Amino acid sequence: MLRKLGGSSDWRWFRYPFLDEGKDEEQRIAARQVLGKHGYRVAAVTMGFSDWAFTPAWARCNAKGNKDALRQLERLYLQSARENVPVARQMAHDLYGRDIPYVLLMHVSAMSAHMMTQVIRLYRNAGFRLISLAEAERDPAYAAYTNLSLPPPPADWKRAQERGLTLPSAPDHSAVLNGMCA
């Protein structure tokens, strides 16, 4: 199906579900070998804001027609995206010593579609420009992810731990989201 729909485009990118590459080194290597054998590259992710967490609240509030709650969700969604910009930048500076071409993880949902124009504006106002996944992942920061003949890279938290760094984190809005329109 992907070959039929993707045609000659650059569609052979794989993102691990939940960004979970495997329970141990052996499993990670085996997965990389299978992906490499079939001509895939791994789409590493370096920025996100847990947009998926907004989906249930968005559905509940829409079903109830709660326009005030929907406006609150929109504000919180953009706030979450905004809060995660400095987190991603700090992580890149801690791990790579510089800004990198960030790869933003977003999920297909009604809310993400509804908010996309505002999200793009937010990122552009924060100094980002949009480029293709292939262009972003040509940066050396992604080499161990995209070149599946290399050993799997350690997780960011592990690399930070090895360097004695504490990676930044953004606020968790799950309690508010879980209570909205419940």
* Structural domain total, the chain: 1
Residue pLDDT, tens place only, 147-180: 898 888 888 888 888 888 888 889 999 999 999 9
Closest CA to 87 of 125, 36, 49, 40: 49
Residue pLDDT, tens place only, 37-62: 998 999 999 999 999 999 999 999 99
* Rounded Cα–Cα distance for residues 44 and 139 (Å): 11
Is residue 51 within 8 Å of residue 109, measured between CB atoms? yes
Is this structure's pTM higher than 0.85?
A: yes
Query: What is the reported pLDDT for 10?
Result: 80
* Rounded Cα–Cα distance for residues 100 and 137 (Å): 9
Is residue 14 within 8 Å of residue 40, measured between CB atoms? yes
- DSSP E strand stretches across the chain: 13-14, 41-42, 47-48, 104-105
DSSP state of 170: P
Closest CA to 41 of 4, 2, 15, 3: 15
Domain that holds residue 130: 2-179
Query: What is the reported pLDDT for 160?
Result: 85
Closest CA to 21 of 164, 163, 156: 156
